Structure 1
């Protein structure tokens, strides 16, 4: 089985209250030093929705489900959600997936 078949990806949609998106993105940015030290976190990127000024999409890629669990269970993640929750208009939507073997641009 290829490395891609064991990788775990996560797509997260975060909808912030009116005028709170930039504050939310700044809070998300505080996770970057943490994910830099997480060996199993391969990609951690934030994307502003082109059609909704309050929505941010997050793409995460992990070596496997265990790495996702380490990231999700970290103290830094708990602190982040303590900061993000009052800024959000609705709970985050999360979709877990597995990359296909013919993906372009993903780390092997």
Structure 2
């Protein structure tokens, strides 16, 4: 079964460009993962500092492999001081019947 989630965070005032650059580089790496099916980055139209990342992985194993990737920890460490939240807010999604 596919693993699907939405990650959300808000760039601090003045940090939008740095966050956008950071997430752009990270997205390129994640999209190269064998088990990644989607890693789409969005900003909210009414508030471009609000980032939403829609992620889909082949299955739970592919998601766990993603979590163990060495560049993930580096990305999260670099992102933390640039966003309003303590970390990305994750919402896990299931397909509707």
Cα drift, residue 32 of structure 1? 3.1
Tell me if 1:99 matches 2:92: no
CA RMSD of superposed structures (Å) = 1.5
Gaps of 5+ in 1: 1-5, 102-108
Cα drift, residue 55 of structure 1? 0.6
Compared CA separation, residues 63 and 100, structure 1 to 2 (3 A): farther
Distance in 2 (CA, whole Å) between partners of 1:83 and 1:48 is: 19
Q: What's the TM-score once normalised by structure 1's chain length?
A: 0.80
Aligned residue pairs total 96
Distance in 2 (CA, whole Å) between partners of 1:43 and 1:100 is: 18
Cα drift, residue 29 of structure 1? 1.2
Cα drift, residue 96 of structure 1? 1.0
Gaps of 5+ in 2: none
Q: What's the TM-score once normalised by structure 2's chain length?
A: 0.88
- 2:80 corresponds in structure 1 to 85
Distance in 2 (CA, whole Å) between partners of 1:22 and 1:93 is: 20
